[in-house]
Amino acid sequence: MKTFSAKANEVPRKWWIIDANNQVLGRVAVKAANLLRGKEKPIYTPHVDTGDFVVVINAEKVRLTGKKEEQKSYMSYSGFVGGHKSENARARRERHPELIVEGAIRGMIPHNKLGRDVYRKLKVYKGDAHPHAAQQPAAVTLA
């Protein structure tokens, strides 16, 4: 029995669409990260990008449980003196709601060169509309 190792250029890619409307952020992020990595495919190989493209719509309607809307904070630092900025989840949702979903998914994929390639296949949009109708993405149901 030989060990199978997938080749990135031979992997068939599919398109998936996840509707985040009234879904818990963590569950959306886990499902998207697994599809992006290709972990649900039988040809999954850890060091090869075997994943699919994922489109997340209604990012502004994703649900945070507990008191995370007020207590969860997002921090950024520019590297300059006085360049520390912090905001809570509510402020980020008003300013740029896609960043909440993108950040959650980005934390669940590898933090290396492979992860950067995987992350490029993620598309997150604020409303129902998205420009990927020609790819005919299949709907994903979350448990």
Please tell me the predicted confidence (pLDDT) of residue 56.
Answer: 98
Structural contact between residues 55 and 132, judged by C-beta atoms closer than 8 angstroms:
yes
Domain that holds residue 25: 14-64+97-139
- Cα first-last separation, the chain: 36
Question: Residue 57, exposed/middle/buried by CB under 10 A (0-12, 13-18, 19+)?
Answer: buried
Structural contact between residues 121 and 45, judged by C-beta atoms closer than 8 angstroms:
no
Q: Does any domain span residue 22? A: yes
Q: Does any domain span residue 1? A: no
Please tell me the predicted confidence (pLDDT) of residue 116.
Answer: 97
pLDDT at 1 over 90: no
- What pTM does this model have? 0.92
CATH number assigned to the domain comprising residue 35: 3.90.1180.10
Q: Does any domain span residue 73? A: no
In angstroms, rounded to a whole number, what is the distance separating the alpha carbons of residues 129 and 58? Answer: 9
pLDDT at 41 over 90: yes
Number of domain units in the chain: 1
Q: Does any domain span residue 50? A: yes
Name the phi and psi angles at 51, rounded to 5: -85, 180
pLDDT at 143 over 80: no
Q: Does any domain span residue 91? A: no
Please tell me the predicted confidence (pLDDT) of residue 5.
Answer: 92
In angstroms, rounded to a whole number, what is the distance separating the alpha carbons of residues 62 and 71? Answer: 16
Mean pLDDT, residues 11-29 taken together: 97
pLDDT, tens only, 79-137: 999 999 999 999 999 999 999 999 999 999 999 999 999 999 999 999 999 999 999 99
Q: Does any domain span residue 38? A: yes
Mean model confidence pLDDT for the chain: 96
Please tell me the predicted confidence (pLDDT) of residue 139.
Answer: 97
Q: Confidence band (pLDDT; 50, 70, 90) for 47?
A: very high
